[in-house]
Copies of this chain bind each other. A is one copy, B any other.
Amino acid sequence: MGIAPMRSGNNDYENIRRPHVIVFDVNETLSDMSPMEERFTDVGAPAHLAATWFAGLLRDGFALTAVGSTARMADIGSSLLRSRMAGLSLTCDLGEAVDHIMKGFAGLDLHPDVVEGVGALCRLGIRLVTLTNGSTDLARGLFERAGILGSFERLLSVEAAGAWKPAPKAYAYAMSQCDVQPREAMLVAVHPWDIEGAGRAGLGTAWLDRSGESYPDHFRPADLQAETLTALAERLESIE
């Protein structure tokens, strides 16, 4: 239940194989970003600005990627907050408000299915790594607080790749670091744009559908779809 191969994925349903390496996206895929809304209301900004801001952060990061440039996610995040909140009536200084919101990233927790799901995947003998458009420190903090850091072979960031996902260079960097071919790896993400990039780069793909939204038509579908990481682990256990 809650897991299905998606229509016309990269691979036929029968051809999906258990990957040697799982490459996890981090923000929203593993971390629950919903407490960020409270950070906005703490400083007098509307809660819904959190979603618009994060979409804008990715929009601007991808714009830089499209022109062959790059920037740190935290820098874009802060800069966009300063720009966007400049016209708002806040309960504190703009600088303090930006700091308060950005510090929220460091205090996030994992989604409730992650600890069990990571354990199950680990027991299958699959090598687990992360590849984030943010910093590896955030992933390390998330896993340390949850006590599962030891389940991960390595934590990677596109900061060392010179290009954000979904650019091919980002996935190629991860493959090189793990010393595997793309076909031996599977990206797991909640973001369809990440599925698109990883699929183009030759990786298998699994879309975590946590929000109840449907998969958008403008990106290539994932090879697998699951509502939780535990459901994905069960599915991968059933295939070779």
What is A's interface to B at a CB cutoff of 8 Å? Answer: 46, 48, 51-52, 55-56, 58-60, 62-67, 71, 75-76, 79-80, 82-84, 86-87, 164, 166-168, 192-193, 196-197, 200, 211-219
Q: Judge whether B83 and A213 touch: CB under 8 Å.
A: yes
A86 to B93 alpha-carbon distance, docked (Å): 38
Starting from the known contacts A62-B63, A84-B213, 13 additional A-B residue pairs (CB-CB under 8 Å) come to: A46-B48, A51-B52, A52-B55, A59-B59, A59-B62, A59-B193, A62-B65, A71-B218, A76-B216, A79-B216, A79-B218, A80-B218, A86-B213
CB contact under 8 A between A67 and B216, given known A52-B55, A59-B59, A193-B59? no
Chain B residues within 8 Å of A84, by CB: 213
Interface of A is mostly: helix
The closest CB in chain B to the CB of A50 belongs to B52
The closest CB in chain B to the CB of A84 belongs to B213
Instruction: Quote the shortest CB–CB distance from A144 to chain B (angstroms).
Output: 29
CB contact under 8 A between A67 and B167, given known A46-B48, A59-B59, A193-B59? yes
A51 to B80 alpha-carbon distance, docked (Å): 14
Chain B residues within 8 Å of A192, by CB: 60
Instruction: Quote the shortest CB–CB distance from A169 to chain B (angstroms).
Output: 10
Contact of A66 among B66, B79, B215, B219 (CB under 8 A): B66
A63 to B212 alpha-carbon distance, docked (Å): 22
Q: Judge whether A87 and B211 touch: CB under 8 Å.
A: yes
Q: Judge whether A80 and B216 touch: CB under 8 Å.
A: yes
Chain B residues within 8 Å of A193, by CB: 59-60, 63
Contact of A212 among B48, B64, B71, B86 (CB under 8 A): B86
Q: Judge whether B48 and A197 touch: CB under 8 Å.
A: no
A208 to B139 alpha-carbon distance, docked (Å): 38
Chain B residues within 8 Å of A87, by CB: 211-213
Chain B residues within 8 Å of A60, by CB: 192-193, 216, 218-219
